[in-house]
């Protein structure tokens, strides 16, 4: 494997952006603001976003206002638009500024916009994909709706590592007998049968 690809931090900065990631549960989103529509500030692959429900549905937008960079996480939903609390610019679900209260008669320039990312809801989670140029899908989780399974939701917690290292650890069965003996694995069985 070449040196760059074997470096998980390199992978984090490039490949991960093509994939869908859950950024919050729907429950967290609806509880984030008394309006029940956000905005909720989330972090994905080093980017700060706001999740907010506007006229177009639940949207994932860049977290900084394109006017004077105020945090849109401090903004509020006003008639289906996300309004900045600094000078009141309003954004739609595509990230376009659609209202500048101080200049009501001015044509709004096309550059008055913030990043907008694809978002979907599945399995009780809000998912975001930062780069839509690859045909990736939300991972299938058939057990979530299977009556024979029980979905258990735990509190979020932070790992002091890169996303790639975390994922690598999660699918690495060979460490189980050493790190989780008698809990997740039989310490007398060292060999791994691929699932």
Enumerate binding residues for ligand FES (CB under 6 A): 65, 67-68, 70, 84, 86-89
In the complex, the smallest distance separating the C-beta of residue 105 from ligand FES, rounded to whole angstroms, is 17
In the complex, the smallest distance separating the C-beta of residue 88 from ligand FES, rounded to whole angstroms, is 6
In the complex, the smallest distance separating the C-beta of residue 113 from ligand FES, rounded to whole angstroms, is 13
Nearer to ligand FES, 54 or 65 (CB): 65
Nearer to ligand FES, 75 or 93 (CB): 75
Nearer to ligand FES, 88 or 115 (CB): 88
Nearer to ligand FES, 64 or 165 (CB): 64
From CA 95, how far away is CA 159, in angstroms rounded? 31
């Amino acid at each position: 494997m070449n040196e760059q690809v074997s470096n998980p931090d390199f992978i984090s900065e490039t490949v991960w952006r093509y994939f869908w990631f859950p950024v919050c549960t729907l429950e967290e989103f609806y509880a984030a603001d008394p309006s029940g529509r956000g905005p909720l500030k989330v972090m994905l692959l080093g980017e700060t976003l706001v999740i907010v429900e506007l006229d177009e549905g639940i949207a994932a937008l860049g977290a900084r206002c394109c006017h004077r960079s105020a945090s849109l996480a401090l903004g509020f939903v006003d008639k289906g638009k996300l309004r900045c609390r600094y000078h009141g610019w309003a954004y739609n679900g595509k990230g376009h500024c659609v209202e500048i209260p101080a200049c009501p008669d001015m044509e709004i320039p096309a550059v008055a916009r913030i990043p907008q990312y694809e978002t979907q809801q599945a399995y009780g989670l809000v998912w975001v994909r930062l780069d839509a140029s690859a045909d990736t899908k939300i991972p299938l989780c058939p057990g979530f709706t299977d009556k024979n399974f029980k979905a258990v939701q735990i509190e979020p917690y932070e790992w002091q590592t890169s996303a790639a290292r975390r994922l690598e650890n999660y699918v690495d069965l060979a460490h189980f007998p050493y790190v989780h003996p008698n809990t997740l694995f039989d310490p007398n069985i060292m060999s791994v049968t691929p699932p």
